[in-house]
């Protein structure tokens, strides 16, 4: 018997956690964080407590209470909370469609021997997030064993095991595009799709009851070619019994494509004499490429943040399609931190380095490293990425008259995001960068595209996920096809 149970992504955008059971085997499609559920209980200074392990997350429903939890969640957390832990793993693996938080972040809470399957690009993005994030819940590739004591090396007594010493490797396995992974009677086939970050995949899960297709998140445009169209063809060939389909933009019409973004950014930059400042998602390599292409054709240099530079370093040699770090039109913007010594003459390198995290330091020595002073001096030569949390950098850079600001992220989706935008607007007004340009293309297919996708794949049943409006699917599926709107935690036999 095969079944599907949806523990996340139900009537919400993201937080996907879908359990596939077949012949005694249990695998997960994604294990992501739900922003909406998290926002209901937590805020910047109201956070789950580390000492409670998984308890705070279970309490408010961010992590599901599962049968056999003792063989699923990490033993260090369970044991510290006095919960049951098993000797072996009770689940067989987690397949990550892509590295966005709402699909992948909660693997942090899983015991380390449960295999995590993802594309090489997803693995590198998660490595970059793990290294650069300040969150205490980002053990993706490295599993930092917590709440452990060991005897002191010299003298009596005990000490806490921390840092490098606590690091163990997770069983993280790279799957190639087109590869099939066999787990008991289940075969999971991974296929690349277009999305707003590289390395995204959809899955065809071959169960004993038939094929189940999972879209992950996808769109039909982008520079990666027609990956999503190819995914749809392959999915149709499998003659699936079920399709688990994302519906983020089920109510929306087609918007801009990535190429449109590049064209419009190009127009704005052509009309800009001085500095071009942009905010776009740091992991969205396609967006980076759109800005990079404009920089290249307009004779500017695209100044990347340190985080982006680190990500590009990890993505070297992958098929992510990222610009090269040593390209003539790429610069690395070393923003001032801590004591701000990067722009103060006379300090030895090792002292300056102390303003930066270990992973940031090597970029200080790159020939294309630039500071706020370089950008201030040659404003017409740069396009620089400044995101919301770096807006104070405008004080260091001092954009001259004739500069512009391009906002290349999604429109605010909730009240909190609206307040954030208002704050950003105050900064932009203060520096004469208002009105700004809003130029963005979504990472998700439109309602019409989803309708066509479902018709082409032709499953018997559609399970809408990753949408606030699953009912809309009932209106758009072809006659004879059934829509089952999943309820959280309910098991559906297929
Ligand atoms: Zn998502
Ligand atoms: Zn996504």
Over residues 249-262, the pLDDT tens digits come to 999 998 999 999 99
> Nearest Cα to 89, choosing from 2, 171, 19, 190?
171
* Residues 410 and 324 placed together within one structural domain of the fold: yes
pLDDT above 90 (res 451):
yes
Ligand with smallest separation from the Cα of 219: 2
* Residues 340 and 460 placed together within one structural domain of the fold: no
Using the mean position of ligand 2's atoms as its centre, give its distance from the Cα of residue 429 in Å: 32
Pairing of strands 93-95, 25-31: parallel
Residue whose tokens read 């799957």: 175
Using the mean position of ligand 2's atoms as its centre, give its distance from the Cα of residue 218 in Å: 8
How many angstroms separate the CA atoms of 150 and 352, rounded?
Answer: 35
pLDDT above 90 (res 469):
yes
The CATH number given to whatever domain includes residue 343 is 3.40.50.10710
Using the mean position of ligand 1's atoms as its centre, give its distance from the Cα of residue 284 in Å: 13
* Residues 234 and 274 placed together within one structural domain of the fold: no
* Residues 137 and 234 placed together within one structural domain of the fold: yes
State the angle between helix axes of 285-297 and 258-270 in degrees (0 to 180), rounded to the nearest 10.
40
Using the mean position of ligand 2's atoms as its centre, give its distance from the Cα of residue 341 in Å: 38
| Domain-terminating residue out of 438, 462, 483 | 438
Do the beta carbons of residue 460 and residue 173 sit within 8 Å? no
Ligand with smallest separation from the Cα of 200: 2
What is the rounded average pLDDT of the residues 305-324? 96
Neighbours of ion ligand 2 (CB under 5 A): 100, 217
Using the mean position of ligand 2's atoms as its centre, give its distance from the Cα of residue 258 in Å: 16
The C-alpha angle 315, 321, 322, rounded to 5 degrees, equals 60
Quick one: pLDDT at residue 488?
97
The C-alpha angle 57, 60, 65, rounded to 5 degrees, equals 65
Query: Does the predicted model carry a pTM greater than 0.85?
Result: yes
Using the mean position of ligand 1's atoms as its centre, give its distance from the Cα of residue 13 in Å: 6
* pLDDT confidence bin for 463, thresholds 50/70/90: very high
What is the rounded average pLDDT of the residues 436-462? 98
CA–CA distance from 382 to each of 181, 305, 330, 378, 448 (Å)? 46, 13, 9, 7, 39
* Residues 243 and 354 placed together within one structural domain of the fold: no
Strand partners, 186: 183
* pLDDT confidence bin for 364, thresholds 50/70/90: very high
What is the rounded average pLDDT of the residues 191-207? 97
* Residues 290 and 204 placed together within one structural domain of the fold: no
Ligand with smallest separation from the Cα of 442: 2
Query: Which helix (DSSP H) or strand (DSSP E) does residue 173 occupy?
Result: strand 172-174
Quick one: pLDDT at residue 413?
84
Q: Could you give the number of structural domains in the chain?
A: 2
* pLDDT confidence bin for 155, thresholds 50/70/90: confident
* pLDDT confidence bin for 67, thresholds 50/70/90: confident
Using the mean position of ligand 1's atoms as its centre, give its distance from the Cα of residue 148 in Å: 34
The CATH number given to whatever domain includes residue 167 is 3.60.15.10
Q: Please state, rounded to an integer, the average pLDDT across all residues of the chain.
A: 97
| Domain-terminating residue out of 421, 438, 455 | 438
Percentage above 90 pLDDT, the chain: 96
Strand partners, 206: 187, 211
* Residues 247 and 308 placed together within one structural domain of the fold: no
Using the mean position of ligand 2's atoms as its centre, give its distance from the Cα of residue 100 in Å: 5
* pLDDT confidence bin for 284, thresholds 50/70/90: very high
Using the mean position of ligand 1's atoms as its centre, give its distance from the Cα of residue 103 in Å: 6
* Residues 214 and 302 placed together within one structural domain of the fold: no
Using the mean position of ligand 1's atoms as its centre, give its distance from the Cα of residue 79 in Å: 32
pLDDT above 90 (res 212):
yes
Ligand with smallest separation from the Cα of 99: 2
Q: Report the half-sphere exposure of 58 (CA within 13 A, side-chain side).
A: 13
How many angstroms separate the CA atoms of 135 and 42, rounded?
Answer: 14
Domain extent at residue 48: 2-251+444-493
* Residues 153 and 24 placed together within one structural domain of the fold: yes
How many angstroms separate the CA atoms of 216 and 228, rounded?
Answer: 11
Ligand with smallest separation from the Cα of 198: 2
* pLDDT confidence bin for 240, thresholds 50/70/90: very high
Q: What is the pLDDT of residues 215-236, one digit of tens each?
A: 999 999 999 879 999 999 999 9
pLDDT above 90 (res 44):
no
Using the mean position of ligand 2's atoms as its centre, give its distance from the Cα of residue 1 in Å: 31
| Three-class secondary structure of residue 417 per DSSP | helix
What is the rounded average pLDDT of the residues 385-402? 96
* Residues 453 and 332 placed together within one structural domain of the fold: no
What is the rounded average pLDDT of the residues 77-91? 96
Do the beta carbons of residue 329 and residue 296 sit within 8 Å? yes
| Domain-terminating residue out of 393, 419, 438 | 438
Do the beta carbons of residue 118 and residue 112 sit within 8 Å? no
Spell out where 307-444 has E strands: 330-333, 369-370, 382-385, 404-407, 437-438
* pLDDT confidence bin for 192, thresholds 50/70/90: very high
* Residues 372 and 476 placed together within one structural domain of the fold: no
* Residues 225 and 325 placed together within one structural domain of the fold: no
Do the beta carbons of residue 363 and residue 369 sit within 8 Å? yes
């Amino acid at each position: 018997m095969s079944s599907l149970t949806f523990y996340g992504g139900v009537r919400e955008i993201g937080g996907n956690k879908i359990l596939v059971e077949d012949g005694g085997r249990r695998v997960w499609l994604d294990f992501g964080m739900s922003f909406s559920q998290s926002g209901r209980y937590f805020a910047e200074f109201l956070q789950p407590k580390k000492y409670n392990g998984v308890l705070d997350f279970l309490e408010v429903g961010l992590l599901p209470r599962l049968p056999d939890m003792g063989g699923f969640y990490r033993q260090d957390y369970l044991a510290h909370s006095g919960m049951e832990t098993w000797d072996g793993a009770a689940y067989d693996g987690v397949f990550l469609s892509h590295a966005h938080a709402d699909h992948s972040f909660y693997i942090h809470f899983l015991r380390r021997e449960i295999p995590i399957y993802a594309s090489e690009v997803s693995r590198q993005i998660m490595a970059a997030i793990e290294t650069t994030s300040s969150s205490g819940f980002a053990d993706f590739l490295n599993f930092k064993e917590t709440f452990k004591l060991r005897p002191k090396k010299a003298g009596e007594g005990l000490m806490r095991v921390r840092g490098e010493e606590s690091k163990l490797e997770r069983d993280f396995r790279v799957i190639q595009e087109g590869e099939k992974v066999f787990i008991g009677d289940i075969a999971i086939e991974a296929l690349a799709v277009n999305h707003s970050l590289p390395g995204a995949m959809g899955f065809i899960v071959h169960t004993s009851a038939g094929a189940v297709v999972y879209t992950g998140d996808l769109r039909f445009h982008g520079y990666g070619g027609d990956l999503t169209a190819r995914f749809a063809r392959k999915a149709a060939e499998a003659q699936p019994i079920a399709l688990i389909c994302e519906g983020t933009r089920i109510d929306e019409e087609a918007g801009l494509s990535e190429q449109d973004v590049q064209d419009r950014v190009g127009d704005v930059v052509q009309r800009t004499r001085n500095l071009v400042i942009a905010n776009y998602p740091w992991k969205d390599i396609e967006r980076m490429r759109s800005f990079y292409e404009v920089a290249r054709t307009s004779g500017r240099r695209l100044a990347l943040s340190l985080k982006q530079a680190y990500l590009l370093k990890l993505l070297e040699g992958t098929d992510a399609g990222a610009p090269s770090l040593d390209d003539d039109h790429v610069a690395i913007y070393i923003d001032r931190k801590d004591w701000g010594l990067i722009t103060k003459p006379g300090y030895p390198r090792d002292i300056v380095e102390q303003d930066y995290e270990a992973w940031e330091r090597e970029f200080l020595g790159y020939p294309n490293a630039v500071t706020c002073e370089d950008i201030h001096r040659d404003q017409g030569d740069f396009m620089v990425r400044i995101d919301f949390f770096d807006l104070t950098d405008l004080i260091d850079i001092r954009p001259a008259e004739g500069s512009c600001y391009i906002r290349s992220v999604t429109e605010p989706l909730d009240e909190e995001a609206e307040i954030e935008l208002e704050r950003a607007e105050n900064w932009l007004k203060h520096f004469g960068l208002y009105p700004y340009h809003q130029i963005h293309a979504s990472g998700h297919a439109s309602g019409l595209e989803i309708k066509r996708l479902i018709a082409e794949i032709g499953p018997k049943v559609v399970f809408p996920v990753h949408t606030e409006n699953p009912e809309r699917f009932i209106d758009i599926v072809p006659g004879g096809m059934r829509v089952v709107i999943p309820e959280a935690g309910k098991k559906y036999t297929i």
